[in-house]
Amino acid sequence: MTEPGASPEDPWVKASPVGLFVESTRKGSVVSRANSIGSTSASSVPNTDDEDSDYHQEAYKESYKDRRRRAHTQAEQKRRDAIKRGYDDLQTIVPTCQQQDFSIGSQKLSKAIVLQKTIDYIQFLHKEKKKQEEEVSTLRKDVTALKIMKVNYEQIVKAHQDNPHEGEDQVSDQVKFNVFQGIMDSLFQSFNASISVASFQELSACVFSWIEEHCKPQTLREIVIGVLHQLKNQLY
User: At 131, is the secondary structure helix, strand, or coil?
Assistant: helix
| Statement to judge: residues 63 and 112 lie in one domain | yes
| Statement to judge: residues 66 and 116 lie in one domain | yes
- 132 is in which domain, residue-wise? 57-140
Mention every residue, 6+ apart, whose C-beta is less than 8 A from residue 1: 18
**pLDDT value of position 58:** 61
**H/E/C letters for each residue in 164-224?**
CCCCCCCCCHHHHHHHHHHHHHHHHHHHHHHCCCCCHHHHHHHHHHHHHHHCCHHHHHHHH
Check if the beta carbon of residue 97 is closer than 8 Å to that of residue 90: yes
Closest to 212 in 3D by CA, of 194, 192, 196: 194
**pLDDT value of position 204:** 83
In a domain, 124, yes or no: yes
**pLDDT value of position 1:** 44
Mention every residue, 6+ apart, whose C-beta is less than 8 A from residue 95: 121
| Statement to judge: residues 135 and 182 lie in one domain | no
Domain boundary residue among 91, 113, 140? 140
In a domain, 117, yes or no: yes
**pLDDT value of position 152:** 84
**pLDDT value of position 168:** 56
**pLDDT value of position 132:** 94
CATH code for position 116: 4.10.280.10
Domain boundary residue among 82, 115, 140? 140
CA separation for the pair 6, 8 (Å, rounded): 7
**pLDDT value of position 175:** 81
Rounded mean pLDDT for each run of 10 residues along the chain, 236 residues in total: 47 48 54 50 49 57 80 92 91 83 66 90 94 92 87 82 65 81 89 84 84 84 85 70
In a domain, 130, yes or no: yes
**pLDDT value of position 13:** 43
pTM for this model (two decimals): 0.40
| Statement to judge: residues 123 and 186 lie in one domain | no
**pLDDT value of position 77:** 93
Domain boundary residue among 140, 155, 190? 140
User: Based on the structure, what is the number of domains in the chain?
Assistant: 2
